Structure 1
Amino acid sequence: MRRAAQSGMSLIEILIAIAIVGIVFALGMPAYGTWIQNTQIRTASDSILAGLQVAKNEAIRRNAPIQFKLDGGATTQWRVNPFLDPDGTPIQSRSADEGSPNATITLTPADADTVTFSALGRVIPNADASPTLAQVDIDNPRIAVVADRRTLRMLIPPGGAIRLCDPKVAAGDPRSC
């Protein structure tokens, strides 16, 4: 008597496939963790850039000075306020926990945390005569291998043309600082 042809997979074939998938996942997990942490750097830098652009655009729209202030030391928390009412209700704000809880920032000058935009979109002196924020470096100390970190830098020149760049990229590349 003839046997009918079998279709499908045997238990051994399924176990081998599961083992191969497990090995691939095990090899990819460290890179995935680094990617997630670098994504937090990108999220924080995009948020700060968006906040700076909101402040600049509101200053132009309202034809009045508007300030952008980073709150809380090394966190990525910020708010946008009118120049004459810096402690009042913010126009827009962002909590440090929104998408990038592990990202940290370094400000230049070190004691600066505020930048004020004029009605023309240019950087002007702050109302409280504090130093004007000129540069923000965004990093993530949770990435153990420093070479794997994708630190980003935000430049805020007096003309108001805010720029996000990558300090590790070689000169000549459009992403370089």
Structure 2
Amino acid sequence: MMMQLRGFTLIEMLIAVAIFAFLIMLAGPMYAKFMGNSQIRNAGDGMLNGVQQAQSIAVRGNTLARLVVDPTTGTGGWRILETVDGTEPAGLPNPVQVYSVTDGSPHASVVPTPAGATQITFDGFGRIVSNLDATPTISCINVDHSTMTGLRSLRVVISNTGIGIGTPKLCDPAAASTEPQACPAAIPCT
């Protein structure tokens, strides 16, 4: 009587490993693209949340609150500073809240516009007002990936006119104007 062998032979195992390696090779580029788009989305959501929180802090405290954006790729982020009676406290301001892009999007590139703008200030009614130091006010924050190309860019747009004054929106600059995720055409962000 012959014994039946159970389990895998070495050849069967090598074939299974080869098929698995081939599938990983096929999925690798798609996974990298997925991770890159996720980092862009995380950074975009983080910037949108910063604008909304600064506006909320200004309304809640009936004071001036400003969002200061650090556009340094890989280490940047934002911080929210509260201003009492329209003046800066002596010394370094104590941030109410801080966010770093390293928290989920280390390769995200954050570029505020207009050029040179790094902050936006809200008053006690949630409206955008001039910055205390007379620097340009952020109207858009463009979010892209710093090391990969061909990914979906996002943009945070802060309206200062019309019905949605001070209302931030996370949008897709490449979307058709008829789509809901499209950026408003009335706000130039170049």
Q: TM-score range by the shorter chain?
A: 0.7 to 0.9
SS at match of 1:28: helix
- Please say if residues 71 and 110 of structure 2, whose CA atoms lie closer than 8 Å, have aligned partners that are also in contact: no
**Residue in structure 1 matched with residue 104 of structure 2 by the alignment:** 99
Q: What is the identity, as a one-letter code, of the residue corresponding to 2:131? A: N
**Is the contact made by 2:71 and 2:109 (CA closer than 8 Å) also made in structure 1?**
no
The 2-side partners of 1:34 and 1:141 are apart by 13
For residues 64-103 of structure 1, what are the structure 2 equivalents within 5 Å? 64-72=63-71, 76-83=76-83, 84-85=87-88, 87-103=92-108
* Residue of structure 1 in register with 2:138 after alignment: 133
Pick the aligned partner of 2:157 from 130, 155, 158: 155
Aligned pairs (5 A) from 1:1-177: 1=1, 3-72=2-71, 76-83=76-83, 84-85=87-88, 87-143=92-148, 146=149, 148-158=150-160, 159-177=165-183
* Native 8 Å contact 1:107 1:137 kept in 2: yes
Distance in 2 between residues matched to 1:164 and 1:30, nearest whole Å: 26
Structure 2 residue runs without a partner (length 5+): 184-190
RMSD between aligned alpha carbons? Answer: 1.9
Q: Aligned partner of 1:106: which letter? A: V
Q: After superposition, what is the alpha-carbon deviation per residue over 1:11-62, rounded to whole angstroms, capped at 9, x for unaligned?
A: 2222211110100001111222222222221111111111111101111111
Tell me how far apart the structure 1 counterparts of residues 57 and 70 of structure 2 sit (CA, whole Å).
19
- Describe the SS at the equivalent of 1:67: strand
Q: Normalised by the size of structure 1, how large is the TM-score? A: 0.88
Distance 1:72 1:169 in 2: 24
Q: Normalization by structure 2: what TM-score?
A: 0.82
Long gaps (5+) in structure 1: none
CA contact (8 A) 1:76 1:103 kept: no
Give the number of equivalent residue pairs: 173
Aligned 8 A contact 2:81 2:95 in 1: yes
